[in-house]
Amino acid sequence: MARILPTLAFHLLIISSLLSSFSMILVSAEDHEFVQSMDPELFGLKKEKLTHFRMYWHDVVDGPIPSAVTIVQPPSNSSQTRFGLIRMFDNALTQGPEPSSKLLGRAQGFYGSASQEDISLLMAQNFAFVQGKYNGSTVTLMGRNSILNKVRELSVIGGSGLFRYARGYALATTQSFNASKSDDAIVEYNIYVLHY
């Protein structure tokens, strides 16, 4: 009996080691199946380019055909900053500041009044292009927009089509803003995009 216990313990140790090794093989095989290093050139990713876009963003809140609609009103006791207001938009992006200027694309997204201290918006939007070689491609912007500052900076956080793997920044400068009557605005966007 004294000899059986050490032999049994030895066998249990061997079985335990084998099971442990087998489970490590399974885990590493599973990891290998869903994670894989790839050569970027297989996707045509050879040299990064820097592209600059300048366009005008038209936010029409008032009138018969608004491009921005309020989806959440701020509470009735809201502050001067309209904290809590959320609007969804589908704004024209034009070549010049005039609404009749050539349409380059649509800015689609939302903004919300996110500050109790000043008029600052949280913005998330896709610039969906409809002209030339960029037709069907998008650039995605997100960030804080303190609309009373002369120039604001938002981040380019991605894109699609010709802007896959995009990164960069956008500078927003207000051309006109009717705060007292309609909230309609025209904003110049200068976007600097690194992409392949």
- This prediction has a pTM of 0.78
Give the DSSP H or E segment for 14: helix 4-34
pLDDT in tens, 133-169: 999 999 999 999 999 999 999 999 999 999 999 999 9
The first and second tokens of residue 72, run together, are: 């959440």
Res 23: pLDDT: 55
CA separation for the pair 123, 109 (Å, rounded): 8
Res 155: pLDDT: 98
Domains of the chain as residue ranges with CATH = 67-195 (2.40.480.10)
pLDDT along the chain (196 residues), means of 10: 58 63 53 72 82 97 93 82 93 97 98 92 98 97 95 98 96 89 92 95
Res 97: pLDDT: 97
Res 38: pLDDT: 75
CA separation for the pair 191, 139 (Å, rounded): 9
CA separation for the pair 128, 134 (Å, rounded): 9
* Phi and psi torsions of 30, nearest 5°: -65, -45
Cβ atoms of 135 and 128 within 8 Å: the answer is no
